[in-house]
């Protein structure tokens, strides 16, 4: 299979599906809130009357941004008062469901717009692997569950859909090199956008020091579910071979690699970095998998909202393939059945970094 036959990442499933099925991400956000609050207390502010600018890099449909941004804005309000303008700029790919985003901001009872008339949201539809905002304009940067997505698929994965579980040495090397290049590109762009004294807080999927990515049973259910759907005749084996989930869990060493030597990269220095195991909320909320049907269906719904559109793009006709909807339905069912048959708690390594723009 040639590289040109491999399809790159797509946005999350639309019509609010990702908002409804992103409890795994919502649980992972909670441990980072104290660090985000502290960053908000320490960040350097532009002189009045310039607005305080918060950039949300990789917003998707907005639900998982509400609590972190409300936390940050609340701390900033203690410093700047109620009248100073706060500009919140949400960014994601051009195909993102921005309708769901703005409806969430307007209607969700947890929205940071509630009871704050001086917060002004906007959105930019471009990849965050390039500069998105004017140089020196961003006060506080926030990114959650986003930078694990690579800018492109660097190579086919001949034996898997997720490179962490592949035995192919060339594929693993290509993904590691792409992840390193993308991380540097992300930092270069943020270093340009942040004002001096600005801070960037990043929460992302990671790998532990032993290289463990987690999600083993979930990825296995996706892989085996794809073979089930192919066996049914709905899709072909060739379709399956084009399907790749272009995510990469960086280790602590990989996060810090650009900063080696002088301790600074793109004007940024690392204040703190931690890789930890997050709670498998679905496992917990289904009684440690005792409600096996709910366990399987909820993990399958989460996977559908987050990665199935990328898998569907590997169909012979891409996202416009007439089989796409039926494929996603069939894969969700196959995955749910497999997980329900053998519930297993997932290891969920996450990385948290706080960086500051120096003088």
Confidence band for 222, pLDDT divided at 50, 70 and 90 = very high
Summarize the confidence of residues 171-198 as an average pLDDT. Answer: 98
Say what the pLDDT of residue 210 is.
87
Confidence band for 5, pLDDT divided at 50, 70 and 90 = very low
Domains in the chain: ranges and CATH: 3-357 (3.40.50.150)
Summarize the confidence of residues 15-26 as an average pLDDT. Answer: 48
The CB-based long-range contact list for 338-341 (8 Å cut-off, 24+ gap) reads 338/220, 338/221, 338/224, 338/225, 338/228, 338/296, 339/217, 339/218, 339/221, 339/292, 339/295, 339/296, 339/299, 339/300, 340/292, 340/293, 340/295, 340/296, 340/297, 341/292, 341/296
Tens of pLDDT along 191-211?
Answer: 999 999 999 999 999 999 888
Q: What percent of the chain has pLDDT over 90?
A: 84
Q: What pTM does this model have?
A: 0.92
Indicate whether 26 pLDDT > 90.
no
Indicate whether 21 pLDDT > 50.
no
Say what the pLDDT of residue 3 is.
46
Tens of pLDDT along 234-267?
Answer: 999 999 999 999 999 999 999 999 999 889 999 9
Tens of pLDDT along 59-78?
Answer: 998 889 999 999 999 999 99
Closest by CA to 111, choosing from 85, 90, 135, 84, is: 90
Q: What percent of the chain has pLDDT over 70?
A: 92
């Amino acid at each position: 299979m040639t590289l040109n036959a491999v399809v790159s990442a797509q946005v999350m499933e639309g019509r609010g599906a990702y908002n409804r099925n992103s409890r795994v991400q919502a649980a992972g956000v909670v441990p980072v809130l104290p660090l985000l609050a502290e960053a908000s207390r320490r960040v350097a502010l532009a002189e009045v009357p310039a607005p305080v600018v918060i950039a949300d890099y990789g917003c998707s449909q907005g639900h998982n941004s509400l609590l972190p941004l409300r936390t940050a804005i609340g701390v900033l309000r203690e410093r700047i008062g109620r009248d100073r303008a706060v500009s919140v700029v949400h960014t994601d790919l051009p195909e993102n469901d921005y309708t769901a985003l703005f409806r969430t901001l307007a209607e969700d009872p947890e929205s940071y717009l509630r009871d704050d008339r001086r917060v002004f949201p906007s959105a930019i539809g471009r990849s965050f692997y390039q500069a998105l905002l004017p140089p020196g304009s961003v006060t506080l940067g926030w990114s959650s569950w986003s930078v694990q997505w690579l800018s492109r698929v660097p190579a086919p994965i001949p034996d898997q859909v997720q490179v962490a579980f592949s035995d192919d040495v060339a594929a693993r090397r290509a993904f590691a090199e792409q992840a390193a290049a993308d991380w540097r590109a992300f930092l270069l762009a943020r270093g340009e956008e942040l004002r001096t004294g600005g801070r960037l807080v990043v929460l992302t999927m990671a790998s532990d020091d032993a290289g463990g990515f987690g999600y083993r049973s979930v990825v296995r259910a996706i892989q085996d579910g794809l073979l089930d759907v192919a066996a049914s005749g709905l899709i072909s084996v060739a379709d399956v071979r084009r399907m790749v989930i272009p995510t990469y869990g960086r280790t602590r060493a990989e996060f810090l690699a650009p900063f080696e030597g002088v301790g600074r990269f793109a004007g940024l220095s690392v204040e703190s970095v931690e890789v930890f195991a997050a709670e498998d909320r679905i496992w917990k909320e289904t009684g440690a998998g005792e409600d096996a049907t709910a366990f399987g269906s909820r993990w399958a719904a989460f996977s559908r909202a987050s990665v199935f559109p990328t898998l569907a793009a590997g169909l012979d006709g891409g996202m416009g393939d007439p089989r796409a909807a039926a494929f996603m339905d069939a894969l969700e069912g196959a995955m749910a059945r497999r997980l329900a048959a053998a519930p297993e708690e997932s290891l969920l390594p996450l990385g948290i970094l706080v960086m500051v723009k120096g003088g």
